[in-house]
Structure 1
Amino acid sequence: MAEDPAMAGDPVLRLSEAGKGFNGVTVLDGVSLEVPQGQFVALVGPSGAGKSTLLRLVNGMHVPDSGTVRTLGENPAACSRRRLRALRARVGFVFQQFGLVGRLSALENVLMGALATLRLPRYGVMSYPHALRVRAVEHLDRVGMADRRFQRCDTLSGGQQQRVAVARTLLQSPELILADEPVASLDPAASMVVLETLERISAEDGISVVCSLHQIEFALAVADRVVALRGGRLVLDEPAAGLSAERLRGIYGTAGARDD
């Protein structure tokens, strides 16, 4: 895990009484949260608790109805389109659906993470600058996928595809990584590989990670800190080391609830 959260740097993320609703239904209700640099935060709670909405507020995909959000020192809701694009380039987003082009190789999919910084369209691996190709292979190596770099992504397992997606995110050189249920479609073994990869990258690079999860055991295994939402409100915010699975299951409404 990363360093003791108390010793981490200045907040890279700050929500102050943030609220958001859709069609008259409140999804987030007065949530306040700070995340320091280099911390791995697991965001847990039942389906519909507001986890995905919170992550989208941080990335500027949604605008809060009340309160404020500051991401890497910026207010996404007040950013111009240009500034919002620049902010999003500093924030990596890993989704449940991998978002890869199946017919392309793992290496080319990773390289596509740099398209926003390139002026001309690219067709094929060799059309990318040499320095970018080197970096892409390095990131694939970090996630244990360098030996599969020329393999079509639609021939990879789900866990392998998600690790390629993580490598693509790393090519952005993000200062913050948001992961929205990144292992929801994976089996337990593949899930732990993906989450341990994110944990290691957070610790080695000092990148903050906010990862929404349903699986309580995974949250306790990889996170520095666990934040729980229920009914749109923040109901728990504590170091992972001091929490039990039984206590976290209570967030889901019953001590016997399933982790997912």
Structure 2
Amino acid sequence: MTYRLEQLTVRHLAGGHGAPALQAIDLVVAQGEQVAIIGPSGAGKTTLLATLSCTRTPDSGVLQVFGQDPWALSEGARHRLRARQCLAPQTPPLPPRQRVVTAVLAARLPQWTLWQALVSLVKPADPQAAFDALQRFGLGDKLYARVDRLSGGERQRCGLARLLLSNATAFLVDEPLSALDPTLSQLTLATLQQEARARNATLVCSLHQVDIARTHFPRIVGLRAGRIVFDLPREQVSDAQIAALYQNEALSSPPPPALLADAPLAVGACL
């Protein structure tokens, strides 16, 4: 079991005085599962991923990660638990003046001594590994570029390349397709899913592209106003449930359109 949540509540503000970002969440994710989290903006998707990654502290309820309560552990033990996961935020915190090779190799910091980390800032420890990871996301030619010279979509994929160099057995990925065109979306999602399968790693991915979630993820969790509205195999998710999930969203917009509605992922060609 990778994650178990029971009646979990997380508030927007520390100290338990803010409005709930997550309310009474019950969720179990087995090792190796691939789960899409969908819902309107502000539903709590990013907060859920941060809570699973042990970077947000719950206000109440039960959280178990790999069978352990992270907030009952010592700081060192909690750090080791975090190192078994890789959180890829929608906007990766990449130092703008850093070279891409250094930013990607930062995924190995949990495995390195302080001295190894400092040396790698001057002379990258394993540029071939960084190149291979970037190449899988179509970014091999950016190995020695500066991060601030990348487009938004390139920065996003650079952050995801870190995942491939980590030792993580759980991938938490927040809106990985938000800055990508259809072709790059296909490449990116295929790479993430195949890497997860190869490692038997758990993949929890928040998405605004509803049709992509319904086409490519075996399990879909619908989140709205911090609560789980449904948690179903994709075959059981109906159009009516999707419409209700996004009802009255800002500007009365429909669920975001699919980028890949008609095109199956060419997994073999991506990796």
Deviation at 1:207, TM superposition (A): 1.4
Deviations 1:200-225 (A, max 9, x none): 22223221111112221222233221
TM-score for the superposition, normalised by structure 1 = 0.84
Answer yes or no: is the 8 Å Cα contact 1:42–1:210 preserved in 2: yes
> Structure 1 vs Structure 2: percent identity of aligned residues?
34
Partner of 1:12: 2
Deviations 1:146-167 (A, max 9, x none): 3432233333333332222111
Answer yes or no: is the 8 Å Cα contact 2:169–2:199 preserved in 1: no
Answer yes or no: is the 8 Å Cα contact 1:107–1:136 preserved in 2: yes
Answer yes or no: is the 8 Å Cα contact 2:7–2:26 preserved in 1: yes
Partner of 1:87: 81
TM-score for the superposition, normalised by structure 2 = 0.80
1:118 matched to 2:113: yes
2:160 to 152, 156, 166: 166
Secondary structure of the residue that 1:122 maps to in structure 2? helix
42-51 or 112-121, larger mean C-alpha shift: 112-121
Deviation at 1:233, TM superposition (A): 1.6
Q: 1:238 and 1:79 mapped to 2: Cα distance?
A: 32
Q: 2:152 and 2:234 mapped to 1: Cα distance?
A: 27
Partner of 2:228: 234
Deviation at 1:235, TM superposition (A): 1.1
Alpha carbons of structure 1 residues 205 and 147: separation in structure 2 relative to 1, 3 Å: farther
Partner of 1:109: 103
Deviation at 1:189, TM superposition (A): 4.2
2:148 to 141, 144, 154: 154
1:258 matched to 2:236: no
Partner of 2:243: 249
Q: 2:171 and 2:237 mapped to 1: Cα distance?
A: 24
Answer yes or no: is the 8 Å Cα contact 1:38–1:208 preserved in 2: yes
Query: Which AA in structure 1 matches 2:254?
Result: R
Query: What are the residue-to-residue correspondences of 1:38-57 with 2, within 5 Å?
Result: 38-57=32-51
Query: Which AA in structure 2 matches 1:198?
Result: L
Q: 2:93 and 2:239 mapped to 1: Cα distance?
A: 32
Answer yes or no: is the 8 Å Cα contact 2:99–2:143 preserved in 1: yes
102-111 or 116-125, larger mean C-alpha shift: 116-125
Answer yes or no: is the 8 Å Cα contact 1:19–1:66 preserved in 2: yes
Answer yes or no: is the 8 Å Cα contact 1:199–1:223 preserved in 2: no
Answer yes or no: is the 8 Å Cα contact 2:156–2:179 preserved in 1: no
Alpha carbons of structure 1 residues 74 and 170: separation in structure 2 relative to 1, 3 Å: farther
- Stretches of structure 2 that go unaligned for 5 or more consecutive residues are 257-271
Q: 1:110 and 1:220 mapped to 2: Cα distance?
A: 31
Matched residues, number:
248
Deviations 1:70-95 (A, max 9, x none): 11222122122111211111110111
Query: What are the residue-to-residue correspondences of 1:85-234 with 2, within 5 Å?
Result: 85-116=79-110, 117-120=112-115, 121-122=117-118, 127-129=123-125, 132-234=126-228
Deviation at 1:42, TM superposition (A): 0.8
Partner of 1:66: 60
Answer yes or no: is the 8 Å Cα contact 1:216–1:245 preserved in 2: no
Partner of 2:266: none
Partner of 1:8: none
139-148 or 59-68, larger mean C-alpha shift: 139-148
227-236 or 198-207, larger mean C-alpha shift: 198-207
1:21 to 11, 22, 26: 11
